[in-house]
Amino acid sequence: MKRLLFILYVLLPAAFLSGCGASLAADRHDVERLLLIQTMGLDSRGDGVEMSVSTGLGAEDAPALVMSAPASGIEDAIARLQNYSPENQLFYAHVQYLLLGEEAARRELGHVIEWVDRSPTLRMDTNMLVVRGSARDAVVDTSEQSTDITQRLESMDRQARSTGWTVYTLREIAAALAEGNGALCLTIGTAPTDGNVFTEEMGSDAVVPVGYAMLGQEGLVDFLSPEESLGAEIITGDPTGLLITVAGSTLEILDCSVSVVPRFAPDGQPSGAHIRCTLQAGMLEKARDGAMNPEEMDAALSRTVSRWVSDALARSQAAGCDCLGIRDAVLTSSRDMALWEERWPELFPGLSLSAAVEGQVDRSYDLAQ
Amino acid sequence: MKEDRVTRKQFAALILVSQLSPLLRLLPQTAVSFSGRAAWLSAVPALLPAALLRLGMESWRRYMRPGEGMGGLLLRWLGPVAGRAVLALYALWFLVYGGFILRSGAERLVSTIYPSSGQGMFAAVTIALCLVVALGPLRAAARTAVIMRTVLLAALGAVLILSVPNMDAKRLLPIGWREAASALPGALPLASVCGVGGCFVFLSGYAEEPKNARWFLGHILLLLALGGAICAAVVSVFGSALAATLTYPFFIMIRSISLGDLVPRIEAVVIAVWVGADFMLCSMLLRCAHEAIRAIFRLPDPDELPMTSLGGGRFLLWLEAAAVFAASLFFEKPPWELRLWSDRYIPLASDCVLYGGFLLLWLVTIPRRKKEKSKG
């Protein structure tokens, strides 16, 4: 009898370990009832937010479910969105893209990072993009019967990465901001396809990268122009594959090495930095009005990229947002790193930053000598 | 006394698996908040106190009579009154610490995986399972620990390897003299983790005699290397500033791991590590508390009686489990307060009881040891 009671005692906990009891695991849901949210957009609306979500295309090309809800906060928005889908459970563990509208990027960035840290489902490695305008428009206007925002973003993501742009994750942005630096975030815009796409999907908007946003401790600081974004990409990222237009010719960056040389005043205080960049580009398409000779092309490449890099540095400095990694390069070379680290925000705007680019154009065999 | 003793390897596995519980609770956030990007170097200075503690424990072992354990030794050396008082204090600490492990483990599980669930149920199920382990022979727990050690180390190893694509070694450097010096305070939580191994001196009567006192060095090195690797991985993924602000940076790092489209998320692995380690530590604390109480009342060895028996003072194990559960109710605090207990008060108390207490006992018993040595 004792033995039997003991076996029952041992088996008792098993009844609680299956994880299927609704009372024990209230957030348990059947897989077939889950709606996997793949793209989440956030906008600022007065004192609250508006959240827009898309589930991505379902099985057998079932159309994506696209919803939007204004609310007082993110969790409130999630609760409201759930009300729109009483039959199914919205599931946020597989969100691939987090879109922040301009205003949300300005006001809600820190809040979003904190929220993801607390969230039991969302990942810090979710790709983050800033939308020119409203995230709601991007989520809603790009979705239709046979395609949706996630599919468009995936396509844009592949294209952007293969052409040298960097899609940053929330983790990378949060890490840079936590270290006291600024951060870059790829900005997307929507472009109408009317008149260009002649199929039944005609009418919805396409998603295109339009450059980088500069993010500071408080949120979005400013947008870099497309050319400044190219300069920023060359300094900070891996620009291999980046397509650039120089003197009417289209070049693809094949290799790029960047070194940041800090400069110090006699008292040891950081006084500036010089960015040296060696660039190798391949010619993809010659200028229609006749290409320059190889030496002229090299010089034009150096001049053009040097201007982009200098402009990006100047914009970042003017905005007081060190999103190009100058701080790390300067401070790690300093003997009094900790001392200057504290004073960096006041030092940065006054630093003398310069750039020199040495470019070389390959595939130039058919250029006139 | 005990014919089928726990082997040294099994004993080492038992200690290591139990130490993974505070290791994963405290690291990397406490080490990073103390040492910044140099947290991964904190394992080096932590080696000294950890090795000294274990060396002290091993030196005591030489004075134990066969199968006696720490309880019997303290009664012999300190006398029946002082000895019983010290043992009662240790038993109380083990029960309180066990209660804290139950509650913090439940809170971590609920806040990260099951946000809509209650902590009480997790704590109740865990203590019921811990009681089963404590009622059984220690060698059974030790054999389980050997299997768990392999599983847990494999899981942690896999997590560290799979995180490599997200790592950026630049976040760990540069390390100058200033940063190297800042690794010292980060050694405190690691030394505290190693100190938890000190509890096991109460169970050493069940284990084989070691061939020499160096047997534990490899085990300490493995634990510290694991601690250093966890800090290095998290800092290189998030940077030290972000890692110090995240709630559970190691878990958040794991949440980002995916094996392509095949296995998009692998958090379950770390849950296994957390729950397994908490479960083993709580079971062993229950057993350590019973060893201390057994010495106080001079009760027979619990392993020599059937598992279902309540005789020979074995009913006390049930009461001790109830006390651990009651202690866990004391720690039913808001998460921010529990975090404060987890990061500050509990490690501090643990260090006082294990490092401080053992040092004090070591000093107090010097004359006694000299006497025993002279006797030969």
- What distance in Å separates residue A313's CA from the closest CA in chain B? 22
Across the A:B interface, residue pairs with CB atoms under 8 Å apart total 74
Q: Kindly report the average pLDDT of chain B as a whole number.
A: 87
Q: Per CB distance under 8 Å, which residues of A are interface residues toward B?
A: 2-3, 5-6, 9-10, 12-13, 16-17, 24-27, 93-94, 117-118, 120, 123-125, 171, 174-176, 178-180, 328, 332, 337-338
- Let me know if residue A179 belongs to a domain: yes
- Let me know if residue A150 belongs to a domain: yes
Asked whether B320 and B328 are in contact (CB, 8 A), the reply is no
Specify whether A189 is located in the same domain as A286: no
Residue A186 Ramachandran class (φ > 0 left, ψ -120 to 50 alpha, else beta): beta
Chain A environment of B176 (Cβ under 8 Å): 337
Specify whether A313 is located in the same domain as A202: no
- What distance in Å separates residue B265's CA from the closest CA in chain A? 9
Q: Do B171 and A175 touch (CB under 8 A)?
A: yes
Residue of A89, A96, A179 to mutate, testing the B interface (most B Cβ within 10 Å of its Cβ): A179
Q: Do A125 and B166 touch (CB under 8 A)?
A: yes
- Let me know if residue A25 belongs to a domain: no
Q: Do A337 and B238 touch (CB under 8 A)?
A: no
Q: What per-residue confidence (pLDDT) applies to B1? A: 45
Question: pLDDT: is A275 or A11 the higher one?
Answer: A275
User: Residues B267-286: pLDDT tens digits?
Assistant: 776 676 778 899 999 999 99
Lowest mean pLDDT among A134-143, A144-153, A190-199, B293-302: A190-199
Cα B93 off chain centre by:
13
Q: How many CB atoms lie within 10 A of CB A341?
A: 14
User: Residues B173-206: pLDDT tens digits?
Assistant: 877 777 788 889 989 999 999 999 888 888 888 8
CB nearest to A175's CB, from B117, B174, B239: B239
Nearest CA in chain B to A179: B241
Q: Do B307 and A6 touch (CB under 8 A)?
A: yes
- Tell me the CATH number at A265: 3.30.300.210
* Cα A323 from Cα A211, distance rounded (Å): 14
Q: What per-residue confidence (pLDDT) applies to A140? A: 83
Residue of A8, A128, A171, A332 to mutate, testing the B interface (most B Cβ within 10 Å of its Cβ): A171
Does residue B208 have a pLDDT over 50? yes
Total domains, chain A: 2
- Let me know if residue A306 belongs to a domain: yes
Specify whether A203 is located in the same domain as A233: no
Specify whether A238 is located in the same domain as A144: no
Specify whether A174 is located in the same domain as A61: yes
User: Residues B168-181: pLDDT tens digits?
Assistant: 888 888 777 777 88
Q: Tell me if residue A145 falls in helix, strand or coil.
A: coil
Domain end point (choices A190, A223, A256):
A223
**What is the extent of the structural domain holding A340?**
226-369
- Let me know if residue A297 belongs to a domain: yes
ipTM above 0.85, yes or no: no
User: Residues B87-101: pLDDT tens digits?
Assistant: 999 999 999 999 999
Comparing C-alpha atoms, which of A242, A241, A212 is closest to residue A228?
A: A212
Does residue A201 have a pLDDT over 60? no
Asked whether A142 and A149 are in contact (CB, 8 A), the reply is yes
Specify whether A305 is located in the same domain as A340: yes
Q: Kindly report the average pLDDT of chain A as a whole number.
A: 83
* Cα B128 from Cα B317, distance rounded (Å): 11
Q: How confident is the model at residue B347 (pLDDT cuts 50, 70, 90)?
A: very high
Q: What per-residue confidence (pLDDT) applies to B245? A: 85
Q: What per-residue confidence (pLDDT) applies to A364? A: 67
Asked whether A334 and A261 are in contact (CB, 8 A), the reply is no
Specify whether A306 is located in the same domain as A256: yes
Specify whether A204 is located in the same domain as A234: no
Q: What per-residue confidence (pLDDT) applies to A312? A: 92
- Let me know if residue A8 belongs to a domain: no
Does residue A50 have a pLDDT over 90? yes
Chain B environment of A120 (Cβ under 8 Å): 111-115
Cα A258 off chain centre by:
22
Tell me the sheet residues that pair with A282.
A252, A362
- Average pLDDT of the residues in B236-259: 87
- Average pLDDT of the residues in B295-318: 82
What is the side-by-side order of every strand in the sheet holding A219-223? A66-71, A48-54, A39-45, A97-101, A127-131, A183-192, A205-216, A219-223
Specify whether A178 is located in the same domain as A207: yes
Comparing C-alpha atoms, which of A357, A360, A232, A236 is closest to residue A305?
A: A357
Asked whether B97 and B289 are in contact (CB, 8 A), the reply is no
Specify whether A218 is located in the same domain as A234: no
Chain A environment of B121 (Cβ under 8 Å): 16, 24
Q: What per-residue confidence (pLDDT) applies to B278? A: 92
* Cα B26 from Cα B39, distance rounded (Å): 12
Specify whether A176 is located in the same domain as A137: yes
DSSP labels, B254-302: HHT--BTTTBS--HHHHHHHHHHHHHHHHHHHHHHHHHHHHHHTTPPPG
CB nearest to B242's CB, from A118, A174, A328: A174
User: Residues A68-84: pLDDT tens digits?
Assistant: 999 999 999 999 999 88
Q: How confident is the model at residue A141 (pLDDT cuts 50, 70, 90)?
A: confident
Question: pLDDT: is A366 or B347 the higher one?
Answer: B347
The one-letter amino acid code at A335 reads R
- Average pLDDT of the residues in A281-294: 79
Specify whether A211 is located in the same domain as A322: no
User: Residues A288-340: pLDDT tens digits?
Assistant: 776 678 788 888 899 999 999 999 999 999 988 888 888 887 877 766 777 77
User: Candidates 1.20.1740.10, 3.40.50.300, 3.40.140.10, 3.40.605.10; correct CATH number of B8-375?
Assistant: 1.20.1740.10
Asked whether A189 and A132 are in contact (CB, 8 A), the reply is yes
Q: What is the number of H-type helices and E-type strands within chain A?
A: 11, 14
Domain end point (choices A181, A202, A223):
A223
